[in-house]
Structure 1
Amino acid sequence: MKRPVALFAGALVASLVTAPPAEAAPATGGVAVTVARFAAPGAATRAYTYDTALIAPGAVVVVVATPTRGGTRALLSVRGLLPDRTYGAHAHQHPCGALPTDAGAHHQHEVDPAQPSVDPAYANPANEIWLDFTTDHRGRATVATTVGWRFADRRAGSVVVHAQRTATEPGKAGTAGPRLGCATVDF
Structure 2
Amino acid sequence: MSLVKAVTAAVAMGASMAIATPAVAAPPHPFVFVHDRFQPAAQAKSAGAVTYDKSLVPTSASVFIAEARVGGKGMKNREGAQGHGQYKMHKGTFVFISLRGLARNHHFGIHVHTKPCGTKPDSSGPHYQNKPDPKQPSTNPKYANPHNEVWLDVTTNKAGKGWAKSWVKWQFRSGEAHSVVIHKNATGTTSGKAGQAGARVACVNVPFK
Q: Where does residue 64 of structure 1 map in the other structure?
A: 66
Between 1:143-152 and 1:39-48, the stretch displaced more is 39-48
What is the TM-score when the length of structure 1 is the normalising length?
0.92
1:165 aligns with 2:186: yes
RMSD: 1.8
| CA distance in 1: counterparts of 2:8 and 2:96, whole angstroms | 10
Aligned to 1:186: 207
Please tell me whether the aligned partners of residues 72 and 149 of structure 1 are also in contact (alpha carbons under 8 angstroms).
yes
Distance 1:146 1:93 in 2: 18
Q: Secondary structure at the match of 1:11?
A: helix
User: Which of 115, 119, 131 lines up with 1:98 in the alignment?
Assistant: 119
Provide structure 2 residue ranges, at least 5 long, that are not aligned to the other structure: 71-89
CA distance in 2, matches of 1:176, 1:7: 29
Identity %: 36
Counterparts of 1:93 and 1:27, CA distance in 2 = 21
Question: Which residues of structure 1 form unaligned runs of 5+?
Answer: none
TM-superposed CA distance for 1:88, in Å, is 0.4
Deviations 1:74-101 (A, max 9, x none): 0010000011111000000011111111
> Is residue 36–residue 61 contact of structure 1 (8 Å, CA) maintained in 2?
yes
Question: Secondary structure of 1:57's match?
Answer: coil
Q: Scaled by the length of structure 2, what TM-score is found?
A: 0.82
Shift of residue 7, structure 1, vs aligned partner: 3.8
Aligned residue runs from structure 1 range 1-187, under 5 A: 6-14=8-16, 19-44=19-44, 45-68=47-70, 69-187=90-208
1:19-50: CA deviation from partner (whole Å, max 9, x where unpaired): 54132132421212111100102234110100
CA distances 1:108-158 after superposition (whole Å, capped 9, x unpaired):
000000000000000000000000010111111111010010123353100
Query: 2:31 corresponds to which letter in structure 1?
Result: V
- How many residue pairs end up in the alignment? 184
